[in-house]
Chains A and B, each alone.
Chain A
Amino acid sequence: MMQNAADNAATLSQAAPVLRIGAVDKYFGATQVLQNCTLDVGDGEIVTLLGPSGCGKTTLLRCIAGFWDADAGRIEIDGQDMTPVPVNRRPVGVVFQSYALFPHLTVARNVGYALRMRGTPASEIEARVTEALRTVSLEGFESRYPAQLSGGQQQRVAIARVLVMQPRVLLLDEPFNALDAKLRSTMQVELRQLIKQLGITSIFVTHDQEEALTMSDRIAVMRGGRIEQAATPDEIFDRPVSSYVADFVGTSNFWDAQAEAGQVTLPDGQSVETGLSGKVRVMSRPHNLRLAPEEQGPWRGVVLFQRHIGPLIEYHVEMPDGATIKVAAIRQDRVRPVRDRAAVSIGIIDSAQVSVFAD
């Protein structure tokens, strides 16, 4: 929470935020689905709401769009309270998970829909539709129907359809879900570049941490209706505020330890400073660990198997207490091949990169 406040302060000091979410609560019957959600998003910033299903990320998005009303708190855009503003008058564009393209309208009519609803003159509509389609590289598709487009093309129509009304805030609800894995990563990069180029303030919703790390300027990790941590991808990855965040973003190893006199002793003999005392949980990323022959260290185990992930090798080491510790090494750095069932010891590369949590 400290992190959160500090971050908000940082954004505020630069310029007034475009979108301010202030202490938003939302209930479904007796269940609280959003709890004191506070987040400021600066001009042109891309912020991702990241979390497992049911964490409230989509609910928050829908409250911003105006599909649902928040039960408490304020949502402001450019300093204006959005509470009394109906959905169809909010300066917000939504790209839906299903894209929600109108199946009975051509691409051109889908993209021009918002302008027609506003009563824009036909000549202007045509020009702006053409421009929007050029922005997403879909010239020449004007007279196609959504069903005649590929998934990637449909997504681009959905984006052009909201861009054409020049929204102040762009909301994207898991927009890559309907795409296959390979197309997904290409589209992620393309979409980020497009949004950055247009400079639109955007909120992304996803449960995919890799997508969040690729797309965002900042990530807000959500848990049970609360924003657990909102920070840059680097910070989320390297300095998670809780074991939940650490576990959700990236691969992590956890073990229990005792903190005494501001110090936690690590299993390989090093120690690390902490403000906590008593029982703590210690976390290290697999790439901060390294394998050594058994006799070189006190933290010993047996290699269960090795997983090859691109240029990385991830060793799963079974410890005497039955826990598994994951150790990652870059393929080239491997000194000599490690056999399965080999007895090894594990060392921590940089003790400053180890996180200590209270839970």
Chain B
Amino acid sequence: MADVTSSPAISGPGLGEKTLDLLLSGRGIWPAVPSIIVLVVVAVIPFILLLSLGFSDIEVARGEIVSQTFSLNHLTNALSDSLYWTTFKRSLSLALSTTALCLLFGYPVAYLFAVGGRWTRRVILILTIAPLLTSGIVRTYAWLVILGGRGVVNWAFLKLGIVDSPLRIMNTHWAVLIGMVQIHLPVMILPLVAVMSRHDNRLIEASENLGASRLGTLRTIIFPMSAPGIGTGAALVFTLSYTTFVVPQLLGGGNYLNAATMIYEQVVFSLEWSKGSVTSLLLMVTCLAVLVMISLATNYFTGWTKGRDA
């Protein structure tokens, strides 16, 4: 050791430099510490506080909290309230049908990407990313213009003589569903396209060379290989559409209640924080349950990706 430090060529670094190196080298956990602190303070602790609110009875006297005791009252109240059941059922069916329809409309685009040339791919990327750069509210607003009483659809229907008087499309379940699907479509397409662009086109050629038809190749090669992308896309679309609040608010009219709008009303309008807490919990738990199911299904179909490394 002594002869090492005495040699100028290979002497040890200064203490300050050493500390900086340790902090910034990325070998230790240090670089992540600021993130961890911020996430704990701004996400983890607030979640715990919010949940604890939903599980306690609070007595307030003269603006001060007098006592706080653990209780399941809010939860049992919510579970025995039929409004909760219908709202969550509506949210769930809306989100699931949105996810399914996004896959139905998005997958062909991804297939076109997979078999398409350089320019096809570029056009698909531009058309998919562009809407994501504009506000969700703006994109929802477009559907007000299209589906409204004096909107594009009614104008076309009247012109074509399909209907005699304007149809009422706005403020219906259908308006919400159409808006949901169109708004979340890019979120489904992007992961699919990402998976497709990682694929080797030679696999498609090999499959066709081995006598598979185009559809056969799609069914036996492209579809199974894009399963991870389907999983990611479905998880993203489901989470977003299950917890969205803009689309139902604007296209469903004031009375269209889903889980997210319910939380908003409880917290902002009726200031029922305990109820809001329980609704939030239910929203998170049900959302997580579906995500786990999606993930299990994806794993089931993508066993081949877990090779020797797993």
Contacts and interface: CB of A to CB of B under 8 A. Distances in A.
Interface of A: 80-81, 84-86, 89-91
B3 interface: yes
B4 A91 contact: no
Main secondary structure of the interface of B (DSSP, over half): loop
Contacts of B4: 80-81, 84-85
A80 B1 contact: no
A90 B12 CA distance: 11
A81 B10 CA distance: 11
B209 interface: no
Interface string B1-40: 1011001011111000000000000000000000000000
A7 B48 CA distance: 69
A226 to B, nearest CB: 26
B83 to A, nearest CB: 56
A85 B12 CA distance: 8
Contacts of A85: 4, 10
Contact of A89 (B1, B3, B10): B10
A84 B11 CA distance: 10
A90 B11 CA distance: 10
A84 B7 CA distance: 13
Contacts, number: 18
A321 B170 CA distance: 88
A300 B111 CA distance: 64
Interface string B100-112: 0000000000000
A84 B1 CA distance: 7
A89 B18 CA distance: 13
A86 B9 CA distance: 12
8 contacts: A80-B3, A80-B10, A81-B4, A84-B4, A84-B12, A89-B11, A89-B12, A90-B10
B188 to A, nearest CB: 34
Task: Please name the 7 residue pairs, one residue from A and one from B, whose CB atoms are nearest each other, closest first.
Answer: A89-B10, A85-B10, A84-B4, A84-B1, A85-B4, A80-B3, A80-B4
A50 B129 CA distance: 51
A323 B76 CA distance: 81
A6 to B, nearest CB: 31
Contact of A91 (B1, B9, B13): B9
Contacts of B9: 89, 91
Contacts of A89: 9-12
Given A84-B12, A85-B4, 11 more contacts: A80-B3, A80-B7, A80-B10, A84-B1, A84-B4, A85-B10, A86-B13, A89-B10, A89-B12, A91-B9, A91-B10
A84 B10 CA distance: 10
Contacts of A86: 13
B142 to A, nearest CB: 42
Contacts of A80: 3-4, 7, 10
Contacts of A84: 1, 4, 12
B162 to A, nearest CB: 59
B13 to A, nearest CB: 8
A264 to B, nearest CB: 43
Contacts of B1: 84
A90 B7 CA distance: 12
Identify the interface centre among B3, B10, B11, B13: most chain A CB within 10 Å of its CB. B10
Nearest to B18: A86
A167 to B, nearest CB: 11
Nearest to A168: B9
A79 B11 CA distance: 16
B200 to A, nearest CB: 20
A53 to B, nearest CB: 14
Nearest to A88: B13
B308 to A, nearest CB: 14
A88 B64 CA distance: 62
Contacts of B10: 80, 85, 89-91
B22 to A, nearest CB: 12
B4 to A, nearest CB: 6
A62 to B, nearest CB: 16
B2 to A, nearest CB: 11
A17 B13 CA distance: 28
A89 B1 CA distance: 14
Contacts of B7: 80
A85 B11 CA distance: 8
Nearest to B7: A80
A115 to B, nearest CB: 15
A80 B2 CA distance: 11
B3 to A, nearest CB: 7
Nearest to B5: A84
Contacts of B13: 86
